[in-house]
Amino acid sequence: MLKLLQVLLIGLLVSFIGSLPLGTLNVAAMQISIASGIEAALFFSLGSLLAEMIYVRLSLVAMDWLRKQTRLLSIFDFLTFLLLIVLAASNFYIAFSENGQNRNLILDSALPKFLLGFLMSAINPVQIPFWFGWSTVLFSRGLLEAKNIQYNAYIIGIGMGTLLGNSVFIFGGQLVATAINDNQSFVSVLIGSIFLITAGWQLYKLLRKKDAAHRLSQPDSETNRVGQQLERWNIDGKKKMDQEG
């Protein structure tokens, strides 16, 4: 039971920290929170984390298959770039329109927010090498074992961590909306700028071959470093339990 709790907490911690940097999904959740309310944003986040959990499950049981899907991942990378451009353009259009009441082409679409979150997450391949790398490190450090019960705890923790991370943006978006309620154009420009900068970074990765398809080869140094720290905590915890026993 203690091992399952440890696996769940590792998944939660890694997912929560990984959800905090500005990205397509958490910024979209923040904008939905501002425009449509907390409930809509939470449904969007639940849809996005469902897709993420499916990808994690695939990374655990089909690593070799994922490694071979370079063309599919490259297509997803390009679709993500186009999505970011559309999101940025929609925000700038809303900001500079005369009445400021235009709807965002994607985030205000007729799709249910849960389905919208799922689809936007499904075509966002950045999470695939991220979780592929983490799963590889956790396996190699003995922190995660090839057991379904551990997989389930790990994935549940990841879902909880992603929801907590997105909640920072969802509730933070409400605070932003309250603070600058009379200047919605500024909010649209700010969010549009974030999407545009993210699109530029996505294009840079595509041109420099640093996209998802090329990052599946091996975990990065930061992932390995944190994995080593988690391994030390695991060993220290076992020693403590042996001494107490």
User: Tens of pLDDT along 72-124?
Assistant: 777 878 888 888 898 888 888 888 876 555 667 788 888 899 999 999 998 88
**Coil, strand or helix at 124:** coil
Nearest to 17 by CA among 234, 240, 235, 229: 229
The answer on pLDDT for 240 being more than 50 is no
Nearest to 4 by CA among 148, 213, 166, 204: 148
Max CA pair span of the chain: 72
Question: For residue range 174-215, what is the model confidence (pLDDT) as tens digits?
Answer: 787 777 666 777 778 888 898 899 888 888 877 876 655 555
Question: For residue range 19-28, what is the model confidence (pLDDT) as tens digits?
Answer: 888 888 998 9
pLDDT above 90: percentage of residues in the chain:
23
DSSP calls for 62-104: -HHHHHT-HHHHHHHHHHHHHHHHHHHHHHHHHHHSSSS-PPP
Q: Tell me whether residue 89 is exposed, middle or buried, using C-beta atoms within 10 angstroms of its C-beta: 0 to 12, 13 to 18, 19 or more.
A: middle
pTM for the model: 0.77
